[in-house]
């Protein structure tokens, strides 16, 4: 009787283990990751930013107000405010992709201290504030950097009355920089490498570094060269200041989103890529309507007209309208248009494209295929 009881228990145990074990050929880890599961049954888990933006009806974008050409307020009255600039247009492109309306946007001013805090706590949906992509910010601060929209490098500006032509001549100088960015480390590395003694003047996030320089509290001001060109415009006597030739760092600037927010990061990432792709295709805000019903399958996909019978348009994969890429270009323009009207050679800032050309023109801008 005891033997029969043990046999029954053993059989129950065996059947129970078989029920819990994966079927032949199945891999539990693959199943957890969704590999091999029919698309109709697999729904990746995304964070809440996309839903929050949809429910709110607009995109909240973090920008700074320190660099004309990149982001500046052009009017503010009882009807609201209006911002313009290179970084502003990147955010407007995201709004156009989401809602078909580039003005479905709200701007929040951030500084070196608050920009990451606001992004992480959800006060803003995307940060577009001349922010440098670095290892520490990506890995330690858990920030997701989107494609670089402006390749820059840190430099210095000085008063011409000093009579210098190189930063290497600035022995013992007072150098001011933002105390919350990458500038301090870049300057320290450069000065140590060249054996130059200097007096660091770290500026608090609550104060604009250019103002500290303008009132004479430092001899030289260090930040991204695009920022130096932008800030020089705000000086009463811009011609009396010169940007020195040294470029002491790599500063890949671009939009940033919260880490681990896959769906939202995909939307912002491909919004940027669409700006590159449109320029490469020769599509801009003025001629985009002439590309409707084009026989080129790549253009058909771009216009939201074709992507095979299973997915009628690419926007569906992101939860976006069929016309998402069309709306971006029609309302905001391609990358070239954004660059030229905000910071290009014919603007007061007068920045040449340089590395910020398409790869086909010797630059670093390159987008994966939109298919």
The yes-or-no verdict on residue 22 having pLDDT over 50 is: no
pLDDT range class, residue 66, cuts 50, 70, 90: confident
Query: In the chain, pLDDT over 70 holds for what percent of residues?
Result: 84
Mean pLDDT of 180-206: 92
pLDDT range class, residue 207, cuts 50, 70, 90: confident
Give the pLDDT confidence score for residue 35 in this predicted structure.
Answer: 34
Mean pLDDT of 125-139: 95
Range 49-150+253-361: architecture per CATH: 3-Layer(aba) Sandwich (3.40)
Between the alpha carbon of residue 289 and those of residues 28, 56, 92, the distances in Å are: 49, 30, 20
Mean pLDDT of 64-69: 90
The yes-or-no verdict on residue 4 having pLDDT over 60 is: no
State pLDDT tens for residues 160-191: 999 999 999 999 999 999 887 789 999 999 99
State pLDDT tens for residues 226-277: 999 999 988 999 999 999 999 999 999 999 999 988 999 999 999 999 999 9
Domains 49-150+253-361 and 154-249 equal at CATH topology level: yes
Mean pLDDT of 138-155: 95
The yes-or-no verdict on residue 120 having pLDDT over 60 is: yes
Query: In the chain, pLDDT over 90 holds for what percent of residues?
Result: 74
What does the domain layout of the chain look like in residue ranges? 2-41, 49-150+253-361, 154-249
Instruction: For the domain covering 154-249, report its CATH number.
Output: 3.40.190.10
Mean pLDDT of 30-50: 45
Q: What pTM value is reported for the model?
A: 0.84
The yes-or-no verdict on residue 194 having pLDDT over 60 is: yes
The yes-or-no verdict on residue 90 having pLDDT over 80 is: yes
d(CA 258, CA 121): 9
Query: For residues 18 and 94, which has the higher predicted lDDT (pLDDT)?
Result: 94
Q: For all residues of the chain together, what is the average pLDDT? A: 87
d(CA 230, CA 220): 16
pLDDT range class, residue 80, cuts 50, 70, 90: low
């Amino acid at each position: 009787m005891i033997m029969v009881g043990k046999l029954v228990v053993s059989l129950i145990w065996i059947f129970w283990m078989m029920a819990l074990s994966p079927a032949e050929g199945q891999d539990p880890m693959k199943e957890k990751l969704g590999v091999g599961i029919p698309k109709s049954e697999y729904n990746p888990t995304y964070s809440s930013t996309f839903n929050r933006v949809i429910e709110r009806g607009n995109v909240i974008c973090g920008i700074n107000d320190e660099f004309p050409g990149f982001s500046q307020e052009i009017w503010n009255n009882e009807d609201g405010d209006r911002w313009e600039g290179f970084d502003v247009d990147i955010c407007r492109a995201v709004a156009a992709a989401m809602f078909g309306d580039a003005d479905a946007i709200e701007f929040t001013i951030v500084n070196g201290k608050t920009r990451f805090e606001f992004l992480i706590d959800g006060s803003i949906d995307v940060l577009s504030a001349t922010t440098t992509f670095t290892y520490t910010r990506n890995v330690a601060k858990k920030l997701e950097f989107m494609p670089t929209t402006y390749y820059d490098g840190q430099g210095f500006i000085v008063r011409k009355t000093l009579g210098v032509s190189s930063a290497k001549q600035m022995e013992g100088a007072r150098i001011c920089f933002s105390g919350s960015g990458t500038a301090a480390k870049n300057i320290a590395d450069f000065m140590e490498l060249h054996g130059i003694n200097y007096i660091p003047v770290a500026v608090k996030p609550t104060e604009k570094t250019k103002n500290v320089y303008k009132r004479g509290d430092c001899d030289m001001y260090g930040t991204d060269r695009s920022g130096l060109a932008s800030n020089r415009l705000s000086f009463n006597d811009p011609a009396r200041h010169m940007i020195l030739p040294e470029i002491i760092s790599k500063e890949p600037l671009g939009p940033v989103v919260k880490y681990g927010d896959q769906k939202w990061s995909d939307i912002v990432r491909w919004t940027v890529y669409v700006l590159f792709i449109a320029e490469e295709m020769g599509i801009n805000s003025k001629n985009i309507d002439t590309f409707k019903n084009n026989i080129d399958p790549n253009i058909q996909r771009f216009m939201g007209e074709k992507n095979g019978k299973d997915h009628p348009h690419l926007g569906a994969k992101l939860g976006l309208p069929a016309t998402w890429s069309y709306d971006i270009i029609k309302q905001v323009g391609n990358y070239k248009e954004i660059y030229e009207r905000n910071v290009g050679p014919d603007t007061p800032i007068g920045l040449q494209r340089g590395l910020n050309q398409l790869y086909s023109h010797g630059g670093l801008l390159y987008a994966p295929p939109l298919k």
